[in-house]
Chains A and B, each alone.
Chain A
Amino acid sequence: MQLKHKAIAGTLESSDAQIILAPNDGGLHIDLTSSVYEQYGTQIKQLLQQVCHRLNIENANIRVVDKGALDCTLKARLETAYFRAIDQKVDINWEALS
């Protein structure tokens, strides 16, 4: 679904990640800053792309500031930012998110 507006999820606390999602017209752009970039940067980008694919996010600027979040946290933050960006507050298909 097309993003309606910019949305944010997460914090800059250690072991968390802050994700800002903004609509654009020209595909998917991921801008990743991470405290563990050298060890996990590639894995994190792959994970973000997989989540976008499953949520059908095709046009978005995604800015991620990662402070060493585990995959489950990154996934949850991106999903939350997405639902905020499309203003969906009810009827979330939890099973599709597992």
Chain B
Amino acid sequence: MKNVLGRDIPAEFLTAGREVFQGQYYRDGYTYTKHAPRVNAQVKPGKDKLLPDIEAVVRATGLQDGMTISFHHHLRDGDYIVNMVMKVIHELGIKDLTVCASSLGKAHDYLVPCIEDGTVTNISTSGIRDEIGEAVSAGKLKNPAIIRSHGGRARAIEDGTVKIDVAFIGAATSDPYGNASGKGGKADTGVLSYMAGDAQYADKVVIITDTLVSSPNFPASIEGVDVDYVVQVDAIGDPHKIATGALRLTSDTRELLMAKNAAKCMYYSGFFKDGFSFQTGAGGPSLATTIFLKEFMDQANVKCGWAMGGITEPIVDLFKAGYIHNLLDDQAFDLASVASAHTDPKHFEISASQYANPFNKGAFVNQLDFVILGALEVDVDFNVNVVQGSNGLLQGAPGGHPDTAAGATVTIIVAPLIRSRIATVRTAVTSVTTPGESIDIVVTDYGVAVNPKRTDLLAAFKDTNIPLKSIETLRDLAYEYAGEPKDIEFEDQVVALVEYRDGTFIDAIKKPKWLN
């Protein structure tokens, strides 16, 4: 069945109330019952939650064939938890598991043999790339992977679409009762935002830490009242790959040009007022935008009320210099942001649900004035793909893209027109992650396109030096320089479903023929 964007979702996936995507606010006012976990009361005092190793903890949880386990990605490329736990599960011979991870990447390659022998038959994730992306693209996973945004995952856990049997939570520190934090250990992540829902909605909750501290380990991102077991291991991750040092600010003139134009769009938008809110990513142009923003804030004599998202050093610097009053942190990207989280009084940790869940009563994304996002591909209807490479391979992550884009007043995409011959702006995206109705401005190195429905922005930019072009003109330029790409051919086999944040299906991704 075709959805509102004309993307075909095979009928076999539209069971149990599943629907195709019907517009970004289709489920406004939707009524649902929140899922509740089935838990064991710990009435008697003195019970020891500490278990000696991962195997003991996996056995204690009663993990069985067909269950769902969950992980977070705060340890990023330095994560040891997923591979550590999966090796034990693999050796125990437990099969047919669903892995519900907030994201997956390079550090989680042990999932590939688990996919190949049926230990893991379902995956729910934001990021799908590298070895796991290739294995899933090639159709090795028994069932299609479900790609979820950060807000979409929080929603799926709360509305019961995903029922987590056991949550395995890596934490920088924990006390023996499971009050766990992203701060103070050997592998600090600053925050544990993506696991807040898992701790409250999973039947069994396990804390894995390398730094056991005395009680109470406050402020605790995960509270001991939700935790069944605590296990201490030698190391939960490689600190050098978790939070990088200072992210180098780009000196690429092309990226600087795009960053300046993105900041200029914010300045002239009509929404650049004292107390404004914004989110940017950690990519080159996004980071650089933050720097230009400072100049424009001086010029307009305004300050930022709050900045949200993956927090980075340039954002922390602006915060400390008084340009930003509050930081709302769902992920700390570098050492400066890890150090600042919780320690600076106005640097707050927020849960994934508070950040972006469309089904709660007002996630912070809904209060964003501006968000600056990237794109692998943008089409002439402004639809964006951040999940699938132009060659058909899964190699990205929605992250908070669809969530912030749907919530923010002004959503700005920053991307070069052409990357290594691949046209970013094109006639049709390979698959849709974020619908065009959520996208307001596309900033490229060859010009800036405004979604025609934003007549207010078009009017506001009219007498500025922002180099406006139509999205079709940008597409034509890209094809003129790179040549028109040949369409990729796909098999019928669906290897991944892109779930929109509200639980409807926005696209179905098939296996590329060339992978045969």
Contact = CB atoms under 8 A, between A and B. Distances in A.
Interface in A60-75: 67-71
A36 B392 contact: no
A69 B420 CA distance: 6
Given A15-B420, A38-B392, A38-B512, A70 B481 contact: yes
Interface stretch (B82-90, B403-411, B482-490): B482-490
Given A38-B512, A39-B488, A68 B422 contact: yes
B488 A15 contact: no
B419 interface: yes
Given A42-B486, A43-B483, A71-B483, A36 B420 contact: yes
B422 A39 contact: yes
Max count, chain A CB within 10 A of own CB: residue among B392, B418, B486, B512 = B486
B271 interface: no
B464 interface: no
B218 interface: no
Contacts of B481: 70
Contacts of B486: 38-43
Contact of B483 (A15, A38, A40): A40
Nearest to B514: A38
A14 interface: yes
Contact of B420 (A35, A38, A43, A71): A35
B390 interface: yes
B314 to A, nearest CB: 25
A69 B392 CA distance: 20
Interface string B419-439: 111100000000000000000
Interface string A42-83: 110000000000000000000000011111000000000000
Interface in A12-31: 14-15
Contacts of A41: 486
Nearest to B485: A39
A36 B418 CA distance: 12
Contacts of B483: 40, 43, 71
Contacts of B418: 70
A58 B422 CA distance: 31
Interface in B357-408: 390-392
B391 A68 contact: no
- How many chain B residues sit at the interface, stated as a range, is 10 to 19
A54 B14 CA distance: 57
A70 B482 contact: yes
A15 B481 CA distance: 12
A40 B512 contact: no
Contacts of B512: 38
B514 A36 contact: no
A14 B422 CA distance: 11
A15 B421 CA distance: 7
Nearest to B483: A43
A68 B488 contact: no
Nearest to A69: B421
Contacts of B485: 36, 39-40
A68 B419 contact: yes
A36 B421 contact: yes
A38 B421 contact: no
B391 A38 contact: yes
A40 B483 CA distance: 8
A40 B514 contact: no
B422 A36 contact: yes
Contacts of A42: 486
A47 to B, nearest CB: 9
Nearest to B515: A38
A14 B391 contact: no
A39 B485 CA distance: 5
Contacts of A39: 390-391, 421-422, 485-486, 488
A67 B420 contact: yes
Contacts of B390: 39
A10 to B, nearest CB: 14
A36 to B, nearest CB: 5
A67 B485 CA distance: 15
Nearest to A68: B420
A7 to B, nearest CB: 24
A67 B420 CA distance: 7
A3 to B, nearest CB: 28
B340 to A, nearest CB: 34
Contacts of A69: 421
A13 to B, nearest CB: 10
B26 to A, nearest CB: 34
Given A38-B486, A43-B483, A68 B421 contact: yes
Given A38-B512, A40-B483, A43-B483, A70 B488 contact: no
Contacts of B422: 36, 39, 68
B44 to A, nearest CB: 62
A40 to B, nearest CB: 6
Contacts of B392: 38
Q: Give 4 closest A-B pairs by Cβ, nearest first.
A: A68-B420, A39-B485, A68-B421, A38-B391
5 contacts: A36-B422, A39-B485, A40-B421, A43-B486, A67-B420
Given A39-B486, A42-B486, 9 more contacts: A36-B420, A38-B514, A39-B485, A40-B421, A40-B482, A40-B485, A67-B420, A68-B420, A70-B421
Interface of A: 14-15, 35-36, 38-43, 67-71
